[in-house]
A and B are shown apart, each in its own frame.
Chain A
C-alpha cells in the first residue's frame, strides 16, 4: 500500500541551526510528494512539492528533493528561525488517486532563540 514515514519528534533547534527532517515513502509507481506545515492554531499549508523524480521543491528557504532510488523526500533548511516552529507533515498523492493525500505522522519543530 501507500504510506509515509518521517522522523519522530519533537525536534528542538537553536535559531540559525541547520534543519533536516527525514521522510521516506512506500507507493505504487511514482507518486507526487509534498511537505505541509501546520503553525500553532492554524490549518495545514502546502510548503513545497515535487511531482517527479529528481525534482527539487523549494519555498521560504526550505528544500526537498524527490529521490526515487531511496524513496525519500527529506526536508532541509540551512538556517531556521523562531517563526519556523510548527508541525511538518510529509505527504504523497498516489498516481492511482488524485484525490487522496496520504500523510506522514508529522514532526514537531521548536526553534529557540
Chain B
C-alpha cells in the first residue's frame, strides 16, 4: 500500500542552524502539507502546497520557513535559523485531488526535530 515517507526520523541540531526535513508523498498525489506537534500539544497546520506554490499557510509559517518540491518526488520543509521553540514532531501529508468532496490526507510517520 502506498505511503508517505519522511526522513530523517529524528534530527538534532544546534540553535541557529538550518535544517531540511524531507518527505516523499504518495506518487499520484497533487497536494502536500506540513503540520507540526510540539510535545504535549495539538497537531498544528503549517502550510499547504499545490502546483509548485503555497496555497495556504498559518501564522506559525513565518519567513524562517520555506517549502519546496525540488524534483518529482520530494517535498521539503526548510527552517533557516532554528530556534529552541522549533523543537517538535513535523508531519508531512499528501492528498490526491481537490475536486468534489473531502479527500483524505495521508500522513507520514513524522520527523522529530530537537533544537539544542
Contacts and interface: CB of A to CB of B under 8 A. Distances in A.
Contacts of A45: 107
Nearest to B104: A46
Contact of B110 (A32, A43, A97, A100): A43
A100 B4 contact: no
Contact of B43 (A42, A93, A103): A103
What secondary structure prevails in chain A residues at the interface with B? loop
Contacts of A105: 41-42
Contacts of B91: 43-44
A98 B105 CA distance: 10
A41 B42 contact: no
Contacts of B31: 99
Contact-residue size bin, chain B (C-beta under 8 Å from the other chain) = 20 to 34
B68 interface: no
A106 B56 CA distance: 24
A89 B104 contact: no
Contact-residue size bin, chain A (C-beta under 8 Å from the other chain) = 20 to 34
Contacts of A93: 102
Interface in A70-113: 89, 93, 97-106
B97 to A, nearest CB: 10
A20 interface: no
Interface in B98-113: 98, 101-102, 104-105, 107-110
Interface of B: 4, 31, 33, 35, 41-45, 48, 55-56, 58, 91, 93, 98, 101-102, 104-105, 107-110
List 6 tightest A-B contacts by C-beta distance, closest first. Answer: A44-B107, A103-B43, A43-B109, A99-B48, A43-B107, A105-B42
